[in-house]
Amino acid sequence: MPKKGAPAAATKSDWLKIEIYSPVEMIDALNNFVFETGAQGAFQEYGAAPLENGFPEEDSPEILKVFFPNDVRLEQRLESLRTYLESLAEIFPELERPTLKTEIIHDPDWGEAWKKYFKPIKVTRSIVIKPTWERYAPTGGDVIIDIDPGMAFGTGQHPSTRMCLEALENILLHDRSIEKWEVLDVGTGTGILGIAAAKLNDAHVLCVDTDKKAVEIAIENVSINNVQEHVAVTLGEIATIKETYDLIVANITSRALIKLRSHFHRLLNPNGYLVISGILDQDKNDIETHFPASSFPVHQFLAEKEWICFVMRKGQPLA
């Protein structure tokens, strides 16, 4: 699911913090809009505290926290955002109207202030995502992944990321038919999924992203987790890749997944696994139409809130 990370720590000045309360169906559109409008950082969180298992309540609200510089263009940006919220409400009359509240923040130390929103979280039966600046006492069987998200998306807190991690855990810990897994992580972001694959089963992983900054952050996180011998990170498109893989994971958007489906089929080994997420429930039919059961038989289906994840196997050639 494509999100940006924390506000940049370039200067100390006044910033406008905006909290947008919105239905999940609008969050991705809002996230893209605020960055196009000049936001220096944004992150998504739930309105309610997580339960003891680390997961949010089923009906917890979605909040997008956005940070704009308090400069001469601030009023124009704020008015553009309000207009955009009105347009979304008109496009989706059946959904709750998004609301916002604002607060001026004086001289924040962005290098530290945003970190309070990212705590260790156990996202599956064995995987724990831990920010590099936090301490965590592991228990038996815990697989610890240290992440410094920087400006990339992928801290394990979003449903699409969690479901991908659960799918990877189910496959890599239970399918003993492959001695040495070859894994491709498409749209790697922070590298969290590729790192998880390497730590779960010593898989050999190639992480690919078209965003230069994401690639830099993923390389750093690979180093932090000491999996350089297992994980390579590259900048580029998967259309140029020639090797084939036992497992491909892609946590991107429905539109991007559909665009890449022929490459997924080409790059998968016979009966290989395809894990795709970043899909809203409203896009489920589109995915099923473009990933026909004859070519991509469904092995497992995961759902959390309005987000879904497919685990497929490679079937017959695409028509």
How high is the pLDDT of residue 2?
41
pLDDT band at 92 (very low <50, low <70, confident <90, very high): confident
Range from 24-28, 112-116, 279-283 that averages highest in pLDDT: 279-283
Q: Calculate ∠ Cα 243-198-269, nearest 5°.
A: 30
What is d(CA 292, CA 166) in angstroms, rounded to the nearest whole number?
A: 23
How high is the pLDDT of residue 133?
86
User: What Rg do the C-alpha atoms of the chain give, in angstroms?
Assistant: 20
Range from 202-206, 280-284, 313-317 that averages highest in pLDDT: 202-206
Close Cβ partners of 284 (under 8 Å, ≥ 6 residues apart): 308
192-200 average pLDDT score: 96
Backbone angles phi, psi at 185, to 5 degrees: -110, 110
Reported as a single tens digit per residue, the pLDDT across 220-265 is 999 999 999 999 999 999 999 999 999 999 998 888 999 999 999 9
How high is the pLDDT of residue 50?
47
- Count of other CB atoms within 10 angstroms of residue 10: 10
Does residue 160 have a pLDDT over 50?
Answer: yes
212-222 average pLDDT score: 89
Report percent pLDDT > 70 for the chain.
84
How high is the pLDDT of residue 57?
52
pTM: 0.73
- Identify which has the larger pLDDT, 195 or 190: 195
The end-to-end CA distance of the chain, in Å, is 28
Reported as a single tens digit per residue, the pLDDT across 42-85 is 777 765 544 454 444 555 558 888 888 887 788 888 888 998 89
- Identify which has the larger pLDDT, 180 or 59: 180
What domains lie within the chain, and their CATH numbers? 15-116 (3.30.70.120), 118-313 (3.40.50.150)
278-283 average pLDDT score: 87
DSSP assignments along 24-85, one per residue: HHHHHHHHHHHHHHT-SEEEEEESS---TTSPPPTTPPEEEEEEEE-STTHHHHHHHHHHHH
What is d(CA 41, CA 250) in angstroms, rounded to the nearest whole number?
A: 24
How high is the pLDDT of residue 118?
73
Reported as a single tens digit per residue, the pLDDT across 104-145 is 887 656 556 666 667 788 889 999 998 888 888 888 889 999
What is d(CA 163, CA 229) in angstroms, rounded to the nearest whole number?
A: 26
Edge-to-edge strands of the sheet including 41-46?
A: 41-46, 62-69, 15-22, 99-105
Does residue 150 have a pLDDT over 60?
Answer: no
How high is the pLDDT of residue 117?
65
86-115 average pLDDT score: 80
How high is the pLDDT of residue 111?
54
What type of residue is 23? P
